[in-house]
Amino acid sequence: MTAARKAACVLVAWALVAAGLSGLSAARAPIAKPQREFDYFALALQWPGTICASTRHCCAKNGCCRSEPLRTFTIHGLWPDYDDGTWPSCCRHTNFEMDKILPLKEKLDKYWPSLYCSSSSTCFSGKGPFWAHEDELQYFSMALDLYFKYNVTDMLSSGGIQISNGKEYALSDVIDAIKHAFGGSPQIICKKGSIEELRLCFDKDLKPRDCLTTTTTNERVLRKKHCPRYITLPTYDPLVLANSTGGIMTEFDDFEASASLYTA
């Protein structure tokens, strides 16, 4: 067994608790099905320019409220998934110990910030910080390693896809830029013509692979509203904490109603 596969086997026991993420909870709600061995990992990345443009209320933990706007993809999670479009979740009771990830706290704040003010849902009806639906040091270290190794912002830039409020890019060009640099087709979630989330997929040895490749899943995706033919990577003006009302964001509670899904 390769070192990467051993690491993946350890990671999946922890990553299986990934469920009910704040803001996008409808996209990763717990699945009430018998659990089986997962098929692949998905590294989910958020585009702050799309999410933060809708920020109306600020809090200290919301990365959208920083004085300097975020201009790169940030991490949403590293998740085990099934080829049929579902995922395992909430497989065991677990207590999140923040002390175990203190060595990574600075990187997590910078590259894995919450973009919301509401508390993240954890398994079994708990609430906690944005990271509490995940589990501890090796999991977060591996996710950060994949994030830095496969820098999506750089991949797109190398393909001529730049951050811009007014510039539109062909969806096919965005997909091709990722496929050329990464070696597999990404999964893209859009909102109002802008990229909201982009996912890179990996096999159990953490090698790049296509996202959602089975016939059943492709048929499901085709029934959804796709991203438009031309999409954007917008910037945003931060609503800094000093001007906030301390309210709780609710704009993204109904994710399925507002987002569209595309996979090549």
pLDDT digits (tens, 9 = 90+) for 215-234: 444 455 444 547 999 999 99
pLDDT digits (tens, 9 = 90+) for 173-189: 999 999 999 999 999 99
Which pLDDT score, from 0 to 100, does residue 155 have?
A: 96
Type of residue at 48: P
Domain harbouring 162, CATH code: 3.90.730.10
Which pLDDT score, from 0 to 100, does residue 143 have?
A: 95
Comparing 63-77, 81-95, 126-140, 225-239, the range with the smallest average pLDDT is 126-140
Which pLDDT score, from 0 to 100, does residue 145 have?
A: 97
Which pLDDT score, from 0 to 100, does residue 4 have?
A: 52
Q: CA-to-CA distance for 184 and 243, rounded, in angstroms?
A: 42
Which pLDDT score, from 0 to 100, does residue 28 have?
A: 55
Domain count, the chain: 1
Q: How much is the mean pLDDT over the chain? A: 75
Domain carrying residue 223: 3-263
Mean pLDDT score, 117-145: 69
Mean pLDDT score, 26-41: 65
Comparing 103-107, 136-140, 218-222, the range with the smallest average pLDDT is 218-222
Which pLDDT score, from 0 to 100, does residue 85 have?
A: 80
pLDDT band at 59 (very low <50, low <70, confident <90, very high): confident
Neighbouring C-beta atoms of residue 97, cutoff 10 Å: 12
